[in-house]
Chains A and B, each alone.
Chain A
Amino acid sequence: MQAAQTLRAHPPEPLTRRCVAGVEVELLGAPPELVAGLRLPGSAALSDRPAPSRISCVVRAFPEALDPPEDHRARWRWTGDSCDVAYLGCEARLRALSPTRYAASLAVRGGVTELEALLGALAVATVYRRGGVVLHAAGVELDGRAVLFVGPSGAGKTTACSLTAGARGFVRDRAVLVPDRKGWAAWALPGWAPIDQGLEPSSAHRLPVAAILAVDQGDTEVVVQRCTAIEAARVLRESTMTGDASREGELALLDVLAGLARDVPCGSVTTVLGRPCGGALRDWLERGAP
């Protein structure tokens, strides 16, 4: 009897529920071998997260039916409550049922890798539906908030993280940002948790965003300064992952980035190799990010 109660209290986690980019996905009708191979974290990982979005997906496998991918970029386009998504030769139709519930029909060409990629694209499409973005950014947790570093590959984003003494590693290279009631919240895209930053990893899944800083490398002095709204929009646009190449999608993205630049201090940090910059960042934030 006690054993039965224990089993009821801790039911086995359904294999069909997974976590993708802070979104819960439920896979319906997918071939078992496809689901079994997924490396995405199970739904238990969602238990400490507030009101996650959920996508219920009907999955059909078409090993040879669809054309090979023309490019390797995820594409999505919202039209009203519907969104067409394509990635790695796979296609999906996503439909918003409510602000947090979605239904999707997936046609998967290929195997587990393609399915995981398509699920990631679906999750990212819901992020943009919610008025959020995915930035090419590395970031740290500093005093309970996220400081994100942006810039082209090789600009020194990871180095800036490692130089932020007293901080914890938060995100390696892809950050999801979504507006919420208190400002903007950030978390790492799956597979982009911090590694090799020389910092203890943050235990937080989601953090309020304190600042977004373009990284520059100097020789003498650590400098943190705010930039103009127009410069912030330019830097954010260059750092934003996009999947909607329509004019309407681009206009919507510009509006989102203008809002992000208005709500979150954006600027630049000049780092110096071997010189910690955590103190300068804290001081700048405490002074109101001038």
Chain B
Amino acid sequence: MKPSKFFLLGFREMIPIMSGTLPFAAVMGTVAADAGLSFWRTMSMNMLVYAGAAQLAAVELMTKNAASAVVVLTGLIINLRFLLYSAAMAPTLRQAPRWVQLACAHSLTDQSYAVTSAHQEKTQTNADMLQLYFGASVCMFIFWQLGVMLGYAFGNIAPAELALDYAVPLSFAALVVPTLKNRKYVLVALFSTVLSLCLHGLPYRLGLIATALPSIGLSVWLTRKGQTS
């Protein structure tokens, strides 16, 4: 596959999102260095797991010598949301070779999926959509690894007064708005907002998946027969 205009579109649309991802990756690198992990171990974890929030939780638990089962299960609960993205990408990948499916699965992140879904209406074929997805994913992969390396080497480099952590919710807002095609989508987004605030106190970051599942349930109900938009 040679880079197409959709690959470049995905790559380009991902760049502004990186203003929030890069500092988050730097935090990951800093936490790994502070936990005494070697650079080799940090980058291996980063390549093999490639899921920031789960890695942060895992390193934090490992420094406290938590049982292996607790470390792994906590990480996997945080990563359960990828099940939804896997389902969403599945129709596009039906005919794809196994190695393309694997590459696509391993590079599934909140950002790469969200950028793809925000721009998927510009694509016509599955091949276009895959190019869009891989463009976004390659950009994400490069910046993520770079951010972790910078954080590992130099500590938390982002100036505190710029509050770059705030770029993360702003990115998600920018990515969700184009997907709200009518009032039903807005209703699901509002439901998810309110429920996530109510479930915020749940341990092990369970609030996220505990919000996502009923929100998907609401979507299933809204798309019932005779209600399709």
Bound pair (A, B) = no
